[in-house]
Structure 1
Amino acid sequence: MASSSSSSSSSASSSVKNPTNVEEIQEKIAQALTYHHQTKHGFTNYARGPRGLDWANQPNPFRRYISAPLLPLLHFPTDNKSTVAVTDDAPLYSSLFLSLPPPKPITQSTISQLFYDSLALSAWKTTGFSTWSLRVNPSSGNLHPTEAYLIAPAIESLSDSPFVAHYAPKEHSLELRATIPSGFFPKFFPDNSFLIGISSIFWREAWKYGERAFRYCNHDVGHAIGAIAMAAATLGWDVKLLDGFGCNDLEKLMGLQIFPDFEIPSRPIKGKFPDIEFEHPDCLILVFPNGSNQFDVDYKELSSVINGFSNLEWKGRPNSLSKEHICWDIIYRTAEAVKKPLTIQKGEFPVDQFKSSGICSENSYKELTIREVVRKRRSAVDMDGVTVMERETFYQILLHCLPSGKGEKHRRPLALPFRVLSWDAEVHAALFVHRVIGLPKGLYFLVRNEDHLEELKKATRSEFKWKKPEGCPDDLPLYELATSDCQKLAKQLSCHQDIASDGCFSLGMVAHFELTLSEKGAWMYPRLFWETGILGQVLYLEAHAVGISATGIGCFFDDPVHELLGLKGSKFQSLYHFTVGGPVLDERIMSLPAYPGPSLDA
């Protein structure tokens, strides 16, 4: 089958002048829905995937651009035990939800710190003959399909010219891909701002998870966005998705046109497909000083200038990740359908005032710096089934999961880290409470967009109580639905995994689904997963900040979750599960420092 990427290029550029016809929009939404329903797990059948792991062809987790100049970044102490300087660099975790520090200038040190606290390696693990790395940003199966690019003005000790660079986490260095015109940033963006681009290599995730991998790649995009937003806040920097850009603009800006068009087969097929290792452009994040005034972003003129980036001298060629591959064709067909076209937006770029998050139990947090939390975050493999959580701690964690901050009706993304998003909250949480002192065991619901409350009540089971639990803060839209011991149920729904029942609580993230796609377009499909990933990132950090752990759960039985809630059709869909509790540490696994790591090529 001919690649659809060449046709998508023309359709995306023409959409600026001629809105895509209704039939084409519906076809793209239908493809997203087809993918979503085809890749559901059920009690009697799982989504299609490899029947075993082909270890000989496990993808290299590190993309490198061979022969591109390497620009080393600085390293930082993880523990905050002594000097004032370190305290300045790494404020207390909980303080960031109250206010951001004054913005720091863009330097080699601050750029180094941003990546060190968001996308760098956090440790190496070893047991027996196996050694593997962990990163600050979590990933499904620790497979790391997410790549990142820095597009920045000239920075002393890094580059004398504005540039595009790929971030290499194993080396904690930037690979210089190209220099860009000197007038690019002053013309289009506020002073002291820069861009971070994110892309995905679907093959890395599909190697293990098959067709469902597209979901997990987009979870990981969300985790990366959340990690970048938190690390930027440490430096007094605000963040916002530049969501007016089309996929083709992002491809040219990050230099991803270096990859040849991928010919999508008509069915799943195994063989040597080096082109399958291409990077899919996901999103672009503007990083700018906190407290900046409103400014204009001229997407039309920007797109025109970025179109010329194809003619830049791009350095380096991408390394090979595997010798053989399996192509799950529906992933690539869906990725084409949900590519976002360029949106010509008029008026000022929205710079919303920072909103602090609600507080009901600040004493729940250990006195940990943001760096201690983000770099020591781990995905728990098992939960102990014993650890309990105070009710006030539970409420405090959920307050930080809300998009709008203190004193607001929850809808708009104004609080950290959700303020990075360009759409109102579309994701809620159905919670299984197992071990929270002062709260009955049972099923609860966190409404993250209060405009959806009545719709949710009508869509769910009529016998649900929808009452505020005892001691719940007024500004926390949490509701008790039913009380009962649901540990066995939580385990059953999360692919029979004990980890879903052995924590203090677990949850399913329920998205306002089909209406969101029909109102905004198929390109919202991956963005709903991004939102779940950012919410998951908050849960990871909150768990570690209060002294326990968490884990994202991508394997769950989709429609049985909906049946439990009484949801019918595709109005609401569960997209991601999570569990929070006391971790069980495997003493057979030894931990090694992230840098310098083992000399082997992982």
Structure 2
Amino acid sequence: MTLTPDENNRTQPASGAVSPQLVQVIAYHQRTKHRLERYAAGPETLDWSAQPNPFREFSGAPRVMLPLVADQLTASFAALHIPGAIAPQPFTLDHVAAMLELAFGLSAWKEYGPDRWAVRCNPSSGNLHPTEAYIISRDIPDLDDGVYHYLSRDHTLEQRCHIAAAPVNQPGLLVGISSITWREAWKYGERAFRYCQLDTGHAIGALRYAAATLGWHVRIADTVSHHQLTQWLGLDRDADFTHAEREEAELLLEITAAPDTEATIDWLLAATRNNWCGQANILDHHPMYRWPVIAEVAAASRKSVTLPSTYRPTMSAAKSSCTITAATLIRQRRSAQHFEPRYVQDVDSFYTMLAALLPDSGTPWDVWNETPRVHPVLFVHRIDGLAPGIYALPRSTKAQAQMQATMRADFLWQKPAGCPEQLPLYLLEVANLGKALKAISCHQAIATDSTFTLAMLAEFDATLQDASWRYRQLYWEAGLLGQVLYLQAEAATLRGTGIGCYFDDTCHDLLGLQDTTFQSMYHFTVGYPLTDHRIASLPPYPRT
């Protein structure tokens, strides 16, 4: 691959030239692959009593205590997938609070012996939660115009600055996402940047589902650069982060009352931010390791100002019969720790889950304004009516042709009998993959005790050829797929969990992938959960 960047940090073919950013991104990806003979570089020991503080806060910043009102939202999970089924609610402090609670708030406290930890509505690798959420508000009653950090531990907003902007007579609400990479690096070492990006993808999905409970829509502000977002969120303010771990700006999302609402981000470009306040807390006073390659790949994958995406698929309603309220389902989501290895999943719920992964299936895919570049390959263990084996779910016609040309020549590519016509699911090989898949998944039993596991294959070379910053987007798309599976599994009275630890190229070998046309970015598994009743579950907030 010979690529060179243009003025917008896009990488274009050029004779004898390769983008330095692209070189660093590809080198990082190869370097951080787990292999059978060795794992990616990480800490040699962990002191759990010295785990970094999972909550970022800004001392000295004025706080707005948010009401806990998500219980008042009665829309069912099925209604989230029907266009127009939920009337858009007005932009009020109560409704903003409900969205933040369901997207990024705590869902419970857990206790086991002397240990106590929080779980959140948005999942995270190792429950380490590198993702931080900010809002930028304008003309919302009972909330001053400004930039706020959301402190999930207390369900409060910390006002970082005031915003002065020309009046436009329309409420504005933006959500900024950042990552504190050290939270993941503390446990996972050099592979942590991957997990931070997956968590960002999960956060996009969590926000989209939460906004849908209010009839709101979400879209990515795809023209915004990393530099702009860093300034707008105050992440470039050295004095506010003295000795504290820095945050890496990821993306900005706009919340609207209707899908065709005119873009309102222009007001922010001309706005003045003043009266900054708040000092970031130190999360780890005695870090034992340093992983400089994380800072290098972060710098190499930062986005510049770009033109807006023109991809707008026609959305259809995804099938769902789940009558549980969406707020209940979102807050009951957990990452499975163990599965019942004899459980057999019914084929209809399996097909419903897969249909929800298609790019035209409505919520949450109406937030994703890029062509689909990530495609599941499924390892089926126990689905009633389906032979165990390897299956593919290409999410575009073009990807199907590329996968067939790139993967093993002896794969069948047959549509299973009884599979819905509109579902592009193909049987590649009948096989019992228990031992092999467990080995590929870093010897974890959850990969084979489940009803099915999947690998998310990304169009790696073609995507990075367009721009090195799209490396992050591949993980975001994979994380968004994972978030859909989390909630769809809960709706089917099952449970899912992401698998970040797998042997990358061993998985590729199983599929016959000989180059980097496709790369597996994330693994996920679904099954019937076994609950450890020794772990006590407590309310997320004392005031509930």
How far does residue 259 in structure 1 lie from its aligned partner after superposition? 3.5
Identify which of 254, 262, 277 aligns with 1:315.
277
How far does residue 193 in structure 1 lie from its aligned partner after superposition? 3.5
Residue 315 of structure 2 aligns with which residue?
A: 355
- Structure-2 change in CA distance of 1:108 and 1:295 (3 Å): closer
Residue 488 of structure 2 aligns with which residue?
A: 542
CA distance in 1, matches of 2:154, 2:351: 40
The AA in structure 2 aligned to 1:337 is A
How far does residue 194 in structure 1 lie from its aligned partner after superposition? 1.3
Residue 81 of structure 1 aligns with which residue?
A: none
1:427-450 deviations in whole A, cap 9, x for unaligned? 000101111100001110111122
The AA in structure 2 aligned to 1:274 is H
Report the 3-state secondary structure (helix = DSSP H, G, I; strand = E; otherwise coil) of the residue aligned with 1:256.
coil
Residue 83 of structure 2 aligns with which residue?
A: 99
CA distance in 2, matches of 1:557, 1:103: 45
Identify which of 519, 537, 542 aligns with 1:573.
519
Between the aligned residues of both structures, percent identity stands at 41
1:482-510 deviations in whole A, cap 9, x for unaligned? 01111222211111100000011111111
CA distance in 2, matches of 1:397, 1:250: 34
How far does residue 356 in structure 1 lie from its aligned partner after superposition? 2.5
How far does residue 588 in structure 1 lie from its aligned partner after superposition? 1.2
C-alpha contact 1:119 1:136 (8 A) present in aligned 2: yes
Residue 589 of structure 1 aligns with which residue?
A: 535
How far does residue 102 in structure 1 lie from its aligned partner after superposition? 1.9
C-alpha contact 2:218 2:253 (8 A) present in aligned 1: yes
Residue 169 of structure 1 aligns with which residue?
A: 152
Asked if 1:336 is matched to 2:277, the reply is: no
The AA in structure 2 aligned to 1:528 is L
1:397-433 deviations in whole A, cap 9, x for unaligned? 100011113xxxxxxxxx2112212211100001011
How far does residue 157 in structure 1 lie from its aligned partner after superposition? 2.5
Report the 3-state secondary structure (helix = DSSP H, G, I; strand = E; otherwise coil) of the residue aligned with 1:578.
strand
The AA in structure 1 aligned to 2:60 is S
CA distance in 1, matches of 2:314, 2:10: 35
Identify which of 212, 223, 239 aligns with 1:244.
223
Asked if 1:27 is matched to 2:20, the reply is: yes
Report the 3-state secondary structure (helix = DSSP H, G, I; strand = E; otherwise coil) of the residue aligned with 1:357.
coil
- Structure-2 change in CA distance of 1:578 and 1:434 (3 Å): same
Report the 3-state secondary structure (helix = DSSP H, G, I; strand = E; otherwise coil) of the residue aligned with 2:80.
helix
How far does residue 354 in structure 1 lie from its aligned partner after superposition? 6.8
CA distance in 1, matches of 2:25, 2:181: 16
Alignment of 1:297-312 (within 5 A): 303=269, 305=270, 309=273, 312=274
CA distance in 2, matches of 1:235, 1:42: 45
Structure 1: gaps (5+ residues): 1-11, 79-85, 263-272, 406-414
How far does residue 357 in structure 1 lie from its aligned partner after superposition? 3.3
The AA in structure 2 aligned to 1:113 is A
Residue 281 of structure 1 aligns with which residue?
A: 249
How far does residue 158 in structure 1 lie from its aligned partner after superposition? 2.7
C-alpha contact 1:467 1:481 (8 A) present in aligned 2: yes
Report the 3-state secondary structure (helix = DSSP H, G, I; strand = E; otherwise coil) of the residue aligned with 1:284.
strand
CA distance in 2, matches of 1:158, 1:543: 36
Asked if 1:157 is matched to 2:142, the reply is: yes
The AA in structure 2 aligned to 1:571 is T
How far does residue 203 in structure 1 lie from its aligned partner after superposition? 0.3
Identify which of 326, 338, 342 aligns with 1:370.
326
How far does residue 343 in structure 1 lie from its aligned partner after superposition? 1.9
C-alpha contact 1:125 1:133 (8 A) present in aligned 2: yes
The AA in structure 2 aligned to 1:252 is Q
Alignment of 1:259-278 (within 5 A): 259=238, 274=243, 277-278=245-246
Report the 3-state secondary structure (helix = DSSP H, G, I; strand = E; otherwise coil) of the residue aligned with 1:473.
coil
Asked if 1:465 is matched to 2:419, the reply is: no
Residue 46 of structure 2 aligns with which residue?
A: 53
CA distance in 1, matches of 2:290, 2:238: 17
1:446-502 deviations in whole A, cap 9, x for unaligned? 111222111110000000011111111111111100011112222111111000000
Normalised TM-score (structure 1)? 0.85
How far does residue 350 in structure 1 lie from its aligned partner after superposition? 6.2
Report the 3-state secondary structure (helix = DSSP H, G, I; strand = E; otherwise coil) of the residue aligned with 2:334.
coil
Identify which of 443, 446, 465 aligns with 2:390.
443
C-alpha contact 1:293 1:351 (8 A) present in aligned 2: no
Residue 488 of structure 1 aligns with which residue?
A: 435
C-alpha contact 2:240 2:280 (8 A) present in aligned 1: no
CA distance in 2, matches of 1:287, 1:77: 18
How far does residue 355 in structure 1 lie from its aligned partner after superposition? 1.8
Asked if 1:513 is matched to 2:460, the reply is: yes
RMSD value, Cα = 2.4
Alignment of 1:167-206 (within 5 A): 167-183=150-166, 186=168, 191-206=170-185
Asked if 1:62 is matched to 2:55, the reply is: yes
1:67-118 deviations in whole A, cap 9, x for unaligned? 101101111364xxxxxxx3xx231102211224221111011101101111
Alignment of 1:130-145 (within 5 A): 130-145=115-130
Normalised TM-score (structure 2)? 0.94
C-alpha contact 1:32 1:337 (8 A) present in aligned 2: yes
Asked if 1:129 is matched to 2:76, the reply is: no
- Structure-2 change in CA distance of 1:593 and 1:297 (3 Å): closer
- Structure-2 change in CA distance of 1:138 and 1:288 (3 Å): same
CA distance in 2, matches of 1:380, 1:210: 23
1:533-554 deviations in whole A, cap 9, x for unaligned? 1100000000001111110000
How far does residue 293 in structure 1 lie from its aligned partner after superposition? 4.4
Structure 2: gaps (5+ residues): none
CA distance in 2, matches of 1:332, 1:421: 27
- Structure-2 change in CA distance of 1:56 and 1:372 (3 Å): closer
The AA in structure 2 aligned to 1:145 is P
CA distance in 2, matches of 1:452, 1:323: 47
Moved over 6 A (4+): 18-25
CA distance in 2, matches of 1:221, 1:25: 28
Report the 3-state secondary structure (helix = DSSP H, G, I; strand = E; otherwise coil) of the residue aligned with 1:117.
helix
Asked if 1:557 is matched to 2:495, the reply is: no
Report the 3-state secondary structure (helix = DSSP H, G, I; strand = E; otherwise coil) of the residue aligned with 1:596.
coil
The AA in structure 2 aligned to 1:384 is E
CA distance in 1, matches of 2:17, 2:301: 12
The total of aligned residue pairs comes to 536
CA distance in 2, matches of 1:76, 1:353: 34
The AA in structure 2 aligned to 1:322 is D
The AA in structure 1 aligned to 2:504 is D
- Structure-2 change in CA distance of 1:449 and 1:180 (3 Å): same
How far does residue 57 in structure 1 lie from its aligned partner after superposition? 3.4
The AA in structure 1 aligned to 2:133 is A
Report the 3-state secondary structure (helix = DSSP H, G, I; strand = E; otherwise coil) of the residue aligned with 1:180.
strand
